[in-house]
Amino acid sequence: MNIAPGPVSRATLLPGFSRILAGPYQLYLRTDLAPHAGALSVALGKLGAAGATGAGNRGSGFRIALPDAPELFVRRARRGGLIRLVLDDLYFGFRPRPLSELWVTVEAARRGVPLAEPAGAAVRWAGPGLYRGFFLTHPAPGMTLWEFLRTDDDSSVRLHVLELARAAIETMLGAGVHHPDLNLDNLFVTPRGESFAVIILDLDKARLRPRAVSGAGRRRIAARLMRSARKLDPDGRLLGPAALSVLDFA
């Protein structure tokens, strides 16, 4: 394991993070996790070699327990749509998306957006401009908003949680975070005392703005969320007009 010299991306400049070369991986880890880089590299290699399927709508989420270290949640970058049949987890580019996501997530958290606590990112180069990527957070207990809506049979509790989701989204937009892929699977419900909180996941396509997201940008994000709701619940059994009115922030 070596600490890699020199800045190679914005992630290198993040205070409290280190860039480390461990096995075939470039790791960008919170400094307190740096001693565990070697074990993490081995764990990531096992995920790839096994072709494992994890949690989430693309089977890309995994919990990793390292010796004498906090448990980590690792999201393996995987493609959607028909292109997944050809490339699956391979991406092109010299500025890997997990590193951009790390930079955006750390800054979004600094701006007060409720998120899973970022722990780092990892890249394994398969060739010039061709890589596999991973994004690391500290795991949060709970379930996606869509899972919660299907699980809880109390309509007043469901409405309360939808209002919490709306508040989290408003905080995100007010902080200048443009999340073009917001859907019911990357809004995450987690216990908070005797109630709940909603955090926002998967900022891999998100961009930071110098001011609040409004106007057309806000409407596009709202439309994406509404499409997700109607696709998952086309009959409106769980998301009737009252529920949708809470989520529709256009």
From the number of C-beta atoms within 10 Å of its C-beta (0-12, 13-18, 19+), residue 7 rates as exposed
CATH, domain range 143-247: 1.10.510.10
- Predicted pLDDT at 47: 77
pLDDT tens digits, 147-169: 999 998 888 999 999 999 999 99
As given in the structure block, the two tokens for residue 77 are 């970058």
pLDDT tens digits, 171-189: 999 999 999 999 999 999 9
- Decide which of 49 and 93 is more confident: 93
Tokens 């926002």 — which residue? 200
- Predicted pLDDT at 152: 86
| Closest alpha carbon to 206 in 230, 228, 173, 229 | 173
CA distance 26 to 19: 7
- Predicted pLDDT at 91: 84
- Predicted pLDDT at 49: 58
Eight-state DSSP code of residue 115:
B
Domain ranges of the chain: 2-137, 143-247
pLDDT tens digits, 230-241: 999 999 999 999
CA distance 121 to 106: 12
pLDDT tens digits, 211-230: 999 999 999 999 999 999 99
Of all residues in the chain, the percent with pLDDT exceeding 90 is 68
Is pLDDT above 60 for 62? yes
Is pLDDT above 90 for 142? yes
pLDDT tens digits, 18-39: 999 999 999 999 999 999 999 9
Tokens 């999340």 — which residue? 179
Query: How high is the mean pLDDT of the chain?
Result: 87
> What pTM value is reported for the model?
0.86
Is pLDDT above 90 for 48? no
CA distance 145 to 188: 5
CA distance 93 to 96: 6
Q: How many residues does the chain have?
A: 250
| Closest alpha carbon to 173 in 136, 224, 137, 135 | 224
pLDDT tens digits, 94-109: 889 899 999 999 999 9
CA distance 180 to 177: 10
How crowded is the C-beta side of 113, counted as CA atoms within 13 Å?
29
